[in-house]
Amino acid sequence: MSILIFLGPPGSGKGTQAKKLAELLHIPQIAVGDILREEVRAGSEVGNQAQAFMKAGKLVPDELTIEIVRQRVGREDCREGFILDGFPRSELQADALDQILSKGGRKIDQLIYFKIAEEEVVGRLSGRRSCKNCGAVYHLKYNPPRTAGKCDLCGGELYLRHDDEENIIRNRFEVYEKQTRPLIDRYKKAGSLVEIDAAQAIDVIFKDLTGTLAIAKVP
């Protein structure tokens, strides 16, 4: 069983690394941002409630995201473990996660903090392109698709996320500093957090990550 939590500022590469690691370990990546975007696209009630917060770069209310996580981690494919990418992001979410896990007799195995400066992140996010169809993530410079504008995996159209515009990126960073950063200190004090230098190249970070988690087989 591996229950891994990825924390870090917007654009620190949590999603990129979580996808690679999930594939290696054969456990699901649970990205609350991806689930919320899917709900918005589907026009569901949750999506309608979340949309305005996401557009403004603010956190969606805790009760919505906690319920999403509660339901998702209870599914069959999470029995052997999962990677939570972008949750918890507030003290309330952290408390709820502890409760959800302890009810199922489980606990967090490792928290990974992706450490990076804001200036580095702005360039990353404005160059990000995401697939409309399957959600795969690219970067115009650091991780370009083989054919411009098209997803390598499914041929879907690539787009710039609305919240990746510069003024909204700055808001997301502010929100992170106020609401999520205190969690880093909380987990550091508890001695359960490992820090990764997220300013390095994608493959170097992945080596650090698998080394930290003592995973022997890195392709």
Contacts to ligand AP5 by CB under 6 A? 8, 10-16, 32-33, 36, 53-54, 57-60, 65, 86-87, 89, 93, 124-125, 127-128, 137-139, 142-143, 163, 172, 201-202, 205
Name which of 27 and 205 has its Cβ closer to ligand AP5: 205
Cis peptide before 88 (omega within 30 of 0): yes
Distance of alpha carbon 132 from alpha carbon 29, whole angstroms: 18
Minimum gap (Å) between residue 14 Cβ and ligand AP5:
4
Q: What residue type is 139 in one-letter code?
A: H
Active-site annotation, residues: 14, 89, 128, 161, 172
Calculate Rg over the CA atoms of the chain.
Answer: 17
Minimum gap (Å) between residue 212 Cβ and ligand AP5:
15
Name which of 20 and 25 has its Cβ closer to ligand AP5: 20
Minimum gap (Å) between residue 217 Cβ and ligand AP5:
21
**158 three-state secondary structure:** strand
Name which of 75 and 170 has its Cβ closer to ligand AP5: 170
**209 three-state secondary structure:** helix
Minimum gap (Å) between residue 123 Cβ and ligand AP5:
8
Residue 87 structure tokens: 């949750």
Contacts of 72 (CB under 8 A, 6+ apart): 30, 35, 78
Point out the residue whose Cβ comes nearest to ligand AP5: 33
Name which of 191 and 198 has its Cβ closer to ligand AP5: 198
**218 three-state secondary structure:** coil
Beta bridge partners, 85, equal 6, 31
